């Protein structure tokens, strides 16, 4: 890493699909010291217009927001947080901004900067995927993986099922499962197993870039993703590419029966929601397909058929 130039690192950040902003922590206004290309596109402001400025301009006149209060308190405590904000681009166009903030600390433990990861989730909010969920915010996130919790995912799936009935929209559910996680835990311990889950969850979550996609930890090392209007013909290739990204992390698993690295199996199901069947049918079909995928030592990806939907 010491051989990487500043230009190389800047190129990596500018290639990121979501907006990334670095702000000074020791100044009360937390001025911007870096904004990547994705954030420039998201906000409509150039890097020159952002440097040295605070990001309160993104809320324009709309300052009375719960998310702002949560963000302010987290920054005061030097903690990470995830909030949803109504933001406004340079031209005044509103959008929903899902913001995750992480503190950066010096070797002495002092917070020197805050890194903000910004994502436009306007389409998801327009479809009501969050506003209709009744769970309190602290139950919506899985603390181990940082993804959605299972309870929150099921609420969103149920709501999306109702929308799919009205609008005749197909729903696709993908279920990923870490292979031989129990053996991994026996080898390295539960703490290492939890770290493995977090790393795999991060890879899978980053593979779903659309704001309307929902990714959650189901249980153990099982990760599920809900895709609206997914093209079933593209699912096997996409699922295989995500599995390859996990394998490409080279997480050492010396007792694995197939690879010597951590792998995942994938089951997928696609269905047109109907009043005659509940949303749980889609989840059950994906899990049955996942069971077959885990038995297939070659493909490790299986798509649910009509027999799985019964």
CA 174 to chain centre: 14
The pLDDT averaged over each successive group of 10 residues in the chain (310 residues) is 72 85 92 94 93 91 82 88 88 88 89 93 65 56 88 85 82 95 94 94 89 87 86 86 94 89 95 86 93 84 86
One domain, residues 143 and 78: no
Q: How far apart are CA 187 and CA 61, in angstroms?
A: 55
Shared domain for 304 and 158, answered yes or no, is yes
Q: Is residue 217 part of a domain?
A: yes
pLDDT of 293: 93
Kindly state whether residue 125 falls inside one of the protein's structural domains.
Answer: no
On whether the CB atoms of residues 180 and 254 are closer than 8 A, the answer is no
Q: Could you tell me the CATH number of the domain that includes residue 278?
A: 3.30.70.270
Domain holding 53, by residue range, is 6-120
Domain end position, chosen among 62, 89, 120: 120
Residues 301 and 183 in one domain: yes
Residue 282 lies in a domain: yes
Residues 92 and 153 in one domain: no
146 and 255 share one domain: yes
Same-domain check for residues 216 and 288: yes
Whether 144 and 232 map to the same domain: the answer is yes
What gap in Å lies between CA 208 and CA 124, rounded to an integer? 13
Q: Is 171 helix (H, G, I), strand (E, B) or coil?
A: strand
Does residue 97 sit in the same domain as residue 166? Answer: no
- Predicted local distance difference test score (pLDDT) of residue 180: 94
Position 194 scores a pLDDT of: 94
**Among candidate residues 261, 224, 229, 225, the one with its CA nearest the CA of residue 246:** 261
Q: Show which of 60, 93, 120 is a domain's final residue.
A: 120
Instruction: Give kind and range of the element (H or E) at residue 112.
Output: strand 111-120
Examine residue 127 and state whether it is found in any structural domain, yes or no: no
What is residue 139's three-state secondary structure?
A: helix
168 with 216, same domain? yes
Q: List CB contacts of 68: < 8 A, sequence separation 6 or more.
A: 59, 83, 85
CB atoms < 10 A from the CB of 152, how many?
21
Picking from 61, 93, 120, the residue at the C-terminal end of a domain is 120
Q: Which bin fits 303, alpha (ψ -120 to 50), beta or left (φ > 0)?
A: beta
Q: What is the pLDDT of residue 140?
A: 77
Alpha helices in the chain (DSSP H): 6-14, 37-43, 47-50, 66-77, 122-126, 150-167, 181-188, 190-207, 235-247, 280-295, 306-309
Do 58 and 202 belong to one domain? no
Q: Is residue 63 part of a domain?
A: yes
Same domain membership, residue 261 and residue 186: yes
Together in a domain, 10 and 68: yes
Instruction: Give a yes or no: residue 149 inside a domain.
Output: yes
Q: Is residue 1 part of a domain?
A: no
Residue 214 contacts by C-beta under 8 Å, 6 or more apart in sequence? Answer: 129, 148, 153, 156, 157, 225, 226
Q: What is the CATH number of the domain that holds 100?
A: 3.30.450.20
Closest listed residue to residue 231, CA positions, set 267, 270, 264, 288: 270
DSSP structure class, residue 121: -
pLDDT at 1: 47
Rg (CA), the chain: 21
DSSP per residue, 56-100: GGGGTT----HHHHHHHHHHHHT--EEEEEEEE-TTS-EEEEEEE
Please tell me the predicted confidence (pLDDT) of residue 134.
52
- Would you tell me how many other CB atoms lie within 10 Å of the CB of residue 303? 22
Q: How many domains does the chain have?
A: 2
> What are the DSSP calls for 210-225, one per residue?
STT-EEEEEETTEEEE
Residue 75 lies in a domain: yes
Place of tokens 């895709």: 227
């Amino acid at each position: 890493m010491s051989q990487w130039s500043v230009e190389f690192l800047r190129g990596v950040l500018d290639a990121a699909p979501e907006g990334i902003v670095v702000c000074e922590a020791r100044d009360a206004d937390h001025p911007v010291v870096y904004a990547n290309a994705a954030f420039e596109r998201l906000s409509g402001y150039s890097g020159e217009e952002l440097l040295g400025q605070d990001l309160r301009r993104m809320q324009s006149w709309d300052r009375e927001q719960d998310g702002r209060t949560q963000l302010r308190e987290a920054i005061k405590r030097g903690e990470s947080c995830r909030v949803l904000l109504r933001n406004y681009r340079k031209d005044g166009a509103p959008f929903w901004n899902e913001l995750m903030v992480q503190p950066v600390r010096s070797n002495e433990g002092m917070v020197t900067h805050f890194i903000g990861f910004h994502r436009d989730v306007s389409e998801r909010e327009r479809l009501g995927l969050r506003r209709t969920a009744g769970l309190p915010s602290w139950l919506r996130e899985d603390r181990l993986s940082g993804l959605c919790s299972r309870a929150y995912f099921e609420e969103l799936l149920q709501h999306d099922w109702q929308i799919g009935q009205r609008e005749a929209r197909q729903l696709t559910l993908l279920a990923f499962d870490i292979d031989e996680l129990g053996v991994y835990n026996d080898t390295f311990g539960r703490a290492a197993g939890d770290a493995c889950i977090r790393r795999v969850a991060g890879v899978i979550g980053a593979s779903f870039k659309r704001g309307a996609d929902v990714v959650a930890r189901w249980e153990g090392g099982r990760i599920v993703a809900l895709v609206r209007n997914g093209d079933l013909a593209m699912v096997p290739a996409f699922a295989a590419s995500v599995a390859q990204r996990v394998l490409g992390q080279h997480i050492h698993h010396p007792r694995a029966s197939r690879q010597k690295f951590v792998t995942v199996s994938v089951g997928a199901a696609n269905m047109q929601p109907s009043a005659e069947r509940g949303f749980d049918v889609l989840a059950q079909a994906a899990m049955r397909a996942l069971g077959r995928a885990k038995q297939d030592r070659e493909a490790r990806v299986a798509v649910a058929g009509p027999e799985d939907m019964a």
